[in-house]
Structure 1
Amino acid sequence: MEASVSYSSTMDDEYEKFIKRMNPPRVVVDNESCKNATVIQVDSANKHGILLEVVQVLTDLNLMITKAYICSDGGWFMDVFNVTDQHGNKITDEGVLDYIQKSLGPDSCFASSMRRSVGVVPAMDHTSIELIGSDRPGLLSEVSAVLTNLKCNVVNAEVWTHNTRAAAVMRVTDEETRAAITDPQRLALINRLLCNVLKGSNKYREPKTVVSHGLTHTDRRLHQMMFADRDYERSVDDSLDEKERPNVNVVNWQDKDYSVVTIRCKDRPKLLFDIICTLTDMQYVVFHGNVDAEGPQAYQEYCIRHVDGSPVKSDAERERVIHCLEAAIVRRVSEGLKLELCTTDRVGLLSDVTRIFRENSLTVTRAEVATKEGKAFNTFYVRDSSGYPVDAKIIDSIRQTIGQTILSVKGSPEESNQSQQESPTRFLFGGLFKSRSFVNFGLVRSYS
Structure 2
Amino acid sequence: MAMLPQEVIRRKRDGAELNAGEIATFIHGIGNGSIGDAQIAAFAMAVRLNGMMPAETVAMTLAMRDSGTVLAWPGVGRPVADKHSTGGVGDNVSLMLAPIAAACGLAVPMISGRGLGHTGGTLDKLQSIPGYDVTPDADRLRRCVETVGAAIIGQTSALAPADGRLYAVRDITATVDSVPLITASILSKKLAAGLGSLVLDVKLGNGAFMTSQAEAETLARSLVDVGNGAGLPTRARITDMNEPLADCVGNAREIEHALSFLKGEKAGTRIEAVVLAFAADMLVASGAVAEPQSALQASREALQDGRALDRFARMVHALGAPADFVEKSSAYLAPAPERHAVKANRSGYIVDYRTREIGLLLIELGGGRTRVEDSIDHRVGLTGLLPVGTRVEAGMPLATVHAASPLAAERAADALLTLVGIGEEAPAEGPVLVAEVT
TM over 0.5: no
Higher RCO (C-alpha 8 Å, min separation 6): 2
Greater helix fraction, Structure 1 or Structure 2: 2
Greater strand fraction, Structure 1 or Structure 2: 1
Q: Which TM-score applies when normalising by structure 2?
A: 0.33
Q: Which TM-score applies when normalising by structure 1?
A: 0.32
Highest CA radius of gyration, 1 or 2?
A: 1
